[in-house]
Structure 1
C-alpha cells in the first residue's frame, strides 16, 4: 500500500470503547516459526501413549500459565483467563487428541485435528460457544509452541506507544496489555461483546472490532482510531490528528475528575452500578463512583469446582462481595448462569447440540431445584451476615410461570426477586413479568444475539450483533416503559450500558440504572451530566426512528451535541 493510497484510506468497524488515539500500527499475526515445526517433525515418540504424555505436559504448562496470569489480573481479565485455563485442560479435547494418536496421526497433526474438530463444533453451536473458537485456537497455538520448544505466541511488547492490529485477540493477549504502551485496539474479527471488547472496556482503551482489511495496513503506518465512530484513518495528517487527540485527552481529564453521583443536567438521578465477578473485582469496583452492584456473576466463582460448594462455602464467597459494598446497595446477585460458554462441572448438562439455546441459567433448576434453593439460601445467609441490601435475579427466564416460581423461592428468604431480560419472549411480556417480580435487568448481550438470530462472534454478522439495532432498541424501550407503568426498576447490565451515547438514549427510554465495568462509569456519568432528561428522551426517539445502527449513532450524537451546546 503506497503512502498516497493510505492517505485516502478510512476503515470502518464496530465501535466498542470510545476515545481517540493516534500511533503506529503494531501488527500481530501469531505464527510459530516454520523452522521449529520442521525440526520437531513427528516428535519421534515411542508410541501413542508417549506422545499423549508430552501433550499432557504441554497442557499443564499452558494452563498453569493462564492461571498465573489470572492471579495477577482482576475483573473481566481474570475471568476469561480462568476460563481459558479450564478449556486447555478440557477432557474432551484430550480425548480427541488421544483418538487421533491411536489412529496413527503424529502429535502435531492430532492436536491440529482435535482443535479443528472442536472449533467446528463450537461454531455450529453458535451463540456464546462460538466465542470460544478464538480461545481454543489460541490454546492450540500455545500447546504447539510448547511441544516444539518455542515461546508461546502472543502480543509483543511495543517499543513505543502503538495501535495493536490483529485478526482477533485471545484472552491471554488482551488481559496482559499495558495501556501505556497499547493505546488502541483494532481487530478484523469479533463483535461488541467479544472478550477483546470486554477487556478493552475494563482498561479504557479505545477499541474498534470487525474492521475489514485491518491486517492489510502496513506495519508502522500511522493510525488515528476513533472508538466512538468506529473509524480508523490510515496515515492522517499528523498535526491535525494530534490536535484531535489532545482535545480528546482534555475531555478525558474531565471524565477522570468526575466523582458522581450520576444525574442528568436537570438533576434527574440515574443509578450507575458495577459488574463484578468475585471479592477481588468487587473491592476494585468499590473504588469507583458507583451506587452498588448491578450484576454479580456468581458462576465465575466456581468454574474450577468439580463438586457443588456447600451453602456455607457459597455464603463465604458471596459475603466477600457484599462486604465490599456494605452501606452502598443494592448488590444484585445473579444466580448461576452456567452452561453454554461457562460450563460448570457440578451443574452443566453435557452433550447438548446447541447449549446457547439449551439448559442454561435458570433452566438448570428445572430438574435440579435443590441447586437453586441452596444458592438462594447461601445468598440470603451472606446478606444477613453482612447487612448489605441484596437483590437476587435469575438468568434465561422465558415465561411468567418461571419468573413467578423463582420469585417465590427468593421471597421466602425475605429478599427482592428479579429476572434478566435477555430472551425476546420476556421483553415482549415485560409488563406481565413485573406483575410477579420486583425488578428487571436487561442483558443486552444475549438479547441482541437472540433477537437478531446472529452469533455474537461471527465477523460477517457484526452489523447484526449490535445493541444499536432498531429491533433491540424497541425491546429495551418496551421493557423500560413496562417498568415505568408498574413503578418498578428496570436496569441494563449488558455491555451496552458502558456506551455513553447509548446510555443517554436508554435513560431517555426510562431505564433507571446502568451497570458496567468500573472503567466505563466516569465516561457514562459525564455524558449524562451534560444533557437534560428531555434531551435523553429526544435521543431515544432519534435512535428508535433510525433504520440501522450507524444511522442511530449519528442521529443520537447530533441530538446530544445540540443538547450540550444548548446547556
Structure 2
C-alpha cells in the first residue's frame, strides 16, 4: 500500500517518480551587518555584484538555448541602472550592501506588482536577481538548484523563472513547489518543457531530501514512498498516453470535422524557432514585451522589424497573432512614464498607454508591417486591455493605417466580453486572455498563489463570461480564440470548443493532448460538456462533471 498522498494544484500534466532534491532557500542579509564605513566602496561592491550576476546568467544562456530568452531577460534586470541606483540610495542612508540590495529589490517589486500584467510576472525574476546579488556581496554560494546526478524531483518554496528554465531536463523528472499558482512562470515553463509539476503543495519544503515521491501533474498529487502497484499504474498510464497522442496529427478538429485551430504561445525568437518546427497551425499569442523591458528609449522601427522577421520566418504561411505592447505607466518603461497612479494595474496599461503615447503603437505596427512584407507572413495584430468599442475602433484604424490586414482585440476585461457584439464589430477577431479574464472576473490577483482556487479557469462564472464573448463573436461573425493557459487543458478545451471558441493557443507541448481530446468528441458533445460545466456550482464540480461525461478513451490516458 502506498504511503502518504498529498494534494496540491496540478499545473503540468504527466507522472514521474524520483527522490526529493530540496532547493536551498536564499540567504538573507545578516541582522548585524554594519553600516558601510565607505559608502562609495559599498556602492561599487553592489554594482560589481549585480554585474557578476548578469554575467553568470549570460553564461548560462549561452550554454542553454532553450532557456536563453528567460535567462537573458533576467540578466537585463541585473543590469538595470535604476536598481543599482536605488541600492546606492539605501547605502547612503546607512544600510550595508546586502540590506541595501534587499531594500532596493523590495521597492522595485512593489512597483512591478502595481503595474500588473507582464511586469507583475517578473517580480520573481527580480527577487531572484536580488538573492543572487546578496549572496555575491556576502561571499556565499548563490541560491538555486544543486547539481543533479540522476533522476530527481526538484522541490522548493518557489522557483524563479531563470531557475526553472535552466533545469537539466535529463535529470529533473518533476517539480513540486509550496508557492506558485496556475499561471505562474513555474507552471508555464514546466508545461513548455514537458515536466510534470505540482504547485501549492502545503509542507513541500519539509519533505526530507532523498524521499522517493510519485508526482501526478494532472491530479496535483504527490505520494510519498509509493508502492509498486502505484508505480506500475503510472507507468502503464504514461505508455497509454504516449501511444494515444502519437496517433493524431495535423489541424485540430472535433470528431465530426468541426475545425478548432491549435496554435502556440511564444515570447521571443528562440520560442518561435522551436514552435515553428512543431505540429502547430501557427501562433495565437506572440508576446512582444521582451523588446522593451531593458530599453532606455523606444526601439527604432528597424530594430523592432529585425526581431519580428526572425519570429515570423519559422512559420512560413501559418498565421502569427501578435499582441502589441502590454505594459503600464511606471518606471520599468523609462520612455513611457505617465507619472504615478494609485493603481496602475487598473490604470493606463496596455492599449490605454498606447493611446496616451501613440508613438509606441505606431512604431510597433510600422515594424510589423515591414517584417510582414519581407517575410510574406500571415500577421494578425491584437491589442491588450480593450474595454470598449471606441477603443477597438481606435486600434483598428491604427492597424489599417499601418497597412496591416487584420486587427483584433484581447478580451480580458469582463466589459469587453459582455459587450463583445459591439467591440468585435470594430475588428476582425477576438482572443480571450483567460488568465487576466479570470483575475478581473473573480477580483483575485493572479500572482497570489493562495488565491489559486478563485483563479481556476473552471470557475463557472469565468465560463459564463467566456460564453458571453463567444455569443458576440457568433452575432458579428468574428472568430474568438483563447490564448490563456486554459487552452492547454484537454478537458477544458472541449468546453471552450462547445462555447464557440474557434482556436486554442497554448504551450506547444500541450497541443498533442488537446488535439487528441477534440478528435474523440463531436461538436454537439462539446456543447453538452460546456452546458454541464456552466451548470456546476463550483470549479471543482465543473471539472469533475466534465471528466465524468467525457469519452472514457480520454480519461483512460489523461
> For residue 335 of structure 2, what is the aligned residue in structure 1?
346
- The answer to whether 1:16 aligns with 2:5 is no
Name the TM-score, length of structure 1 as normaliser: 0.91
Calculate the aligned-residue CA RMSD, in Å: 2.6
> For residue 552 of structure 1, what is the aligned residue in structure 2?
542
Contact 2:116/2:328, CA 8 A, preserved across alignment: no
Q: Give 1:177 shift.
A: 1.0
Q: For 2:551 and 2:20, how far apart are their aligned partners in 1?
A: 31
Q: For 2:206 and 2:113, how far apart are their aligned partners in 1?
A: 26
- The answer to whether 1:379 aligns with 2:374 is no
Match of 2:380 among 360, 372, 391: 391
Structure-2 change in CA distance of 1:301 and 1:254 (3 Å): farther
Q: For 2:390 and 2:152, how far apart are their aligned partners in 1?
A: 53
> For residue 337 of structure 1, what is the aligned residue in structure 2?
326
Q: Give 1:325 shift.
A: 1.5
Structure 1 window deviating more from structure 2 (192-201 vs 85-94): it is 85-94
> For residue 410 of structure 1, what is the aligned residue in structure 2?
399
User: After superposition, where does 1:407-556 map in structure 2 within 5 Å?
Assistant: 407-412=396-401, 413-556=403-546
Q: Give 1:51 shift.
A: 0.5
Q: For 1:275 and 1:408, how far apart are their aligned partners in 2?
A: 26
Structure 1 window deviating more from structure 2 (356-365 vs 47-56): it is 356-365
Match of 1:183 among 173, 181, 184: 173
Deviation per CA, 1:252-311, whole angstroms, max 9, x where unpaired?
Answer: 243256432222222222111112233332121111111111112122233232222222
Match of 2:97 among 86, 91, 107: 107
Name the TM-score, length of structure 2 as normaliser: 0.92
SS at match of 2:336: coil
Deviation per CA, 1:69-127, whole angstroms, max 9, x where unpaired?
Answer: 3455557x444333322332334433332222222222222223333444455556666
Structure-2 change in CA distance of 1:242 and 1:345 (3 Å): farther
Q: Give 1:249 shift.
A: 3.3
Q: For 1:183 and 1:342, how far apart are their aligned partners in 2?
A: 39
Q: For 2:520 and 2:239, how far apart are their aligned partners in 1?
A: 17
Contact 2:77/2:294, CA 8 A, preserved across alignment: no
- The answer to whether 1:279 aligns with 2:269 is yes
User: After superposition, where does 1:182-331 map in structure 2 within 5 Å?
Assistant: 182-256=172-246, 258-328=248-318, 330-331=319-320
- The answer to whether 1:66 aligns with 2:57 is yes
Structure-2 change in CA distance of 1:122 and 1:399 (3 Å): same
Runs of 5+ consecutive residues of structure 2 not aligned to the other structure: none
Aligned length: 555
Contact 1:535/1:559, CA 8 A, preserved across alignment: no
Q: For 2:84 and 2:387, how far apart are their aligned partners in 1?
A: 36
